Chain A
């Protein structure tokens, strides 16, 4: 059993990426990984805070590192944005002793302390690729996904600027994980391009166009679904796929899974345990063809009936 401090981040913990957190915890248990959530963690600050108040945002991220340092375990986060921010702040504290001293004066007030490089911040994809974890994963595969064509969408912040485990110019980590579960990775041109991130709120036209480009690039291949390691990318590609179709008159209908969901599915986990029902472009139809049929219970059936009715009504009103 390997133990890590776990930093879920805001959007995974109860926001739009909650399925990522649920499925990550679900697979970790079976892969002999113990995830100990950092108690009282706060938002890492990410791009917006850094853009407004540089020093405050550094302190905010450093507080999480200070909390994690109390347990002295490496930090694991499933969120690419948190991964980038926490690593960047760690790097800056190492690079600038004056900044480290100043930040520690702020952290002291809460009895915390952190030195640059004291602990490592790793991404979920990184720890899944550890040699022994990969072996455990291979031994636990229950569903045969042979022939399932998966487009690995890396996004930006997992690969760039790069904190050690991935080649930032030619990323391979998702390809390797998809191969590990016997599915087939399908490379596409824009696999590490930007999805627009939070611009979907402030400048939706800009972001929708970036999303359209990525979906069109996937469509050029014969991939059946997209897999991503980032909650922002998943929300943009999945929840806004309908908006892209309305705006550009396209007909994209491609499910977007979290990397943890695909792995859990291959390990034979149930749909509910992996929060598969939270996909807006439902992956159910695709996944059922790889899974023996079972009669759904009454409430899930009612739920799906209502949701299908809603999307049908919405489609009618759009036409």
Chain B
């Protein structure tokens, strides 16, 4: 796959349209609260994507440390929307099974989405337990104290939401979405 192919793939997904407009000014990297944790800064990852370094881009942990605070997208002088590009890169790395193992965020996102797929809405307690069991079961002890606080103030639902047949309808919707996407 050539460099041009990878740029085309990114820019054809909603959110990645403007990747070719980037002038490498670095405003995004300077605005990012988590840039220190990223293997490649937002500016760099855009440059690498445009250079066609597909594997290194999709295997990196950079986009997974994006908290979607949108500061880069607001400040970008060329309206490239780096935070949206990060989401595009995330979904591509999942698509090709290249998601980084050097951050727990992909696992958290997966547990979160499983909760939506099961119930149609987020079941906070279930998703947190599932995420901890999949990554580090001992992390549950760390969450316990806050969990008890939330429970005592009536802010922790112990069972998933009872929203009628919403779960069923969402599962059907996602099945149809999958079929339409593949078609």
| Chain A residues at the B interface, C-beta cutoff of 8 Å | 10-11, 13-19, 40-43, 45, 47-56, 58-60, 63, 84, 92, 95-96, 99, 102, 105-107, 109-110, 156-157, 160-162, 168-169, 193-194, 196-199, 201-204, 206, 210, 235, 239-240, 242-243, 277-280, 307, 310, 314
What are 28 inter-chain pairs, A to B, with CB distance below 8 A?
A10-B122, A11-B122, A14-B157, A14-B161, A40-B169, A42-B169, A42-B170, A45-B116, A47-B87, A47-B109, A49-B116, A50-B91, A51-B87, A55-B177, A56-B177, A59-B174, A106-B173, A109-B172, A110-B172, A160-B73, A197-B68, A198-B112, A202-B103, A202-B104, A206-B65, A280-B153, A310-B148, A310-B152
Q: Which of chain A's residues has its CB closest to B128's CB?
A: A201
**B177: chain A residues within 8 A (beta carbon):** 55-56, 59-60, 106
B158-183 interface (Cβ within 8 A of A): 161, 163-166, 169-170, 172-174, 176-178, 180-181
Query: Which of A52, A278, A314 contacts B153 (CB under 8 A)?
Result: A278
Q: Which of chain A's residues has its CB closest to B86's CB?
A: A51
B66 to chain A, nearest CB (A): 8
CA distance A242 to B174 in the complex (A): 39
Knowing A48-B112, A202-B105 are in contact, say whether A54-B14 is a contact too (CB < 8 A): yes
Q: Are A42 and B120 in contact (CB under 8 A)?
A: yes
Q: Is B4 in contact with chain A by the CB < 8 A criterion? A: no
Query: Which of B65, B108, B149 contacts A242 (CB under 8 A)?
Result: B149
B102-154 interface (Cβ within 8 A of A): 103-105, 107-110, 112-113, 116, 120-122, 124, 128, 131, 135, 139, 142-143, 145-146, 148-150, 152-154
Q: Which of chain B's residues has its CB closest to A96's CB?
A: B14
CA distance A134 to B121 in the complex (A): 33
**A235: chain B residues within 8 A (beta carbon):** 150, 155
Q: Are B87 and A202 in contact (CB under 8 A)?
A: no
Q: Are B150 and A204 in contact (CB under 8 A)?
A: no
A241 to chain B, nearest CB (A): 10
B39-51: contact bitstring with A at CB < 8 Å (1 yes, 0 no)?
A: 0000000000000
CA distance A42 to B110 in the complex (A): 17
Closest 5 CB pairs between A and B?
A160-B70, A194-B69, A202-B108, A10-B122, A48-B109
Q: Main secondary structure on chain A at its contact with chain B? A: helix
4 new A-B contacts at CB < 8 Å, known A14-B157, A102-B181, A201-B143: A11-B124, A15-B122, A40-B166, A47-B87
CA distance A157 to B177 in the complex (A): 27
**B73: chain A residues within 8 A (beta carbon):** 160-161
Q: Which of chain A's residues has its CB closest to B120's CB?
A: A42
**B135: chain A residues within 8 A (beta carbon):** 202
**B90: chain A residues within 8 A (beta carbon):** 51-52
Q: Which of chain A's residues has its CB closest to B105's CB?
A: A202
Q: Are B116 and A43 in contact (CB under 8 A)?
A: yes
Q: Which of chain A's residues has its CB closest to B167's CB?
A: A42
CA distance A197 to B135 in the complex (A): 19
CA distance A60 to B120 in the complex (A): 9
Q: Which of chain B's residues has its CB closest to A41's CB?
A: B166
**B3: chain A residues within 8 A (beta carbon):** none
**B81: chain A residues within 8 A (beta carbon):** 161
**A210: chain B residues within 8 A (beta carbon):** 33
**A45: chain B residues within 8 A (beta carbon):** 116
Q: Is B24 in contact with chain A by the CB < 8 A criterion? A: no
Q: Are A49 and B155 in contact (CB under 8 A)?
A: no
**A240: chain B residues within 8 A (beta carbon):** 146
Query: Which of A10, A55, A96 contacts B181 (CB under 8 A)?
Result: A55
CA distance A206 to B142 in the complex (A): 15
**B20: chain A residues within 8 A (beta carbon):** none
B99 to chain A, nearest CB (A): 9
CA distance A161 to B91 in the complex (A): 21
**B173: chain A residues within 8 A (beta carbon):** 59-60, 63, 106-107, 109-110
CA distance A107 to B73 in the complex (A): 30
Knowing A11-B124, A92-B14 are in contact, say whether A161-B70 is a contact too (CB < 8 A): yes
**A206: chain B residues within 8 A (beta carbon):** 34, 37, 65
Interface-centre pick from B90, B116, B161 (highest chain A CB count, 10 A): B116
**A196: chain B residues within 8 A (beta carbon):** 67
Q: Is B71 in contact with chain A by the CB < 8 A criterion? A: yes
Q: Are A194 and B67 in contact (CB under 8 A)?
A: yes
CA distance A248 to B173 in the complex (A): 46
Query: Which of A17, A18, A193 contacts B69 (CB under 8 A)?
Result: A193
CA distance A198 to B107 in the complex (A): 12
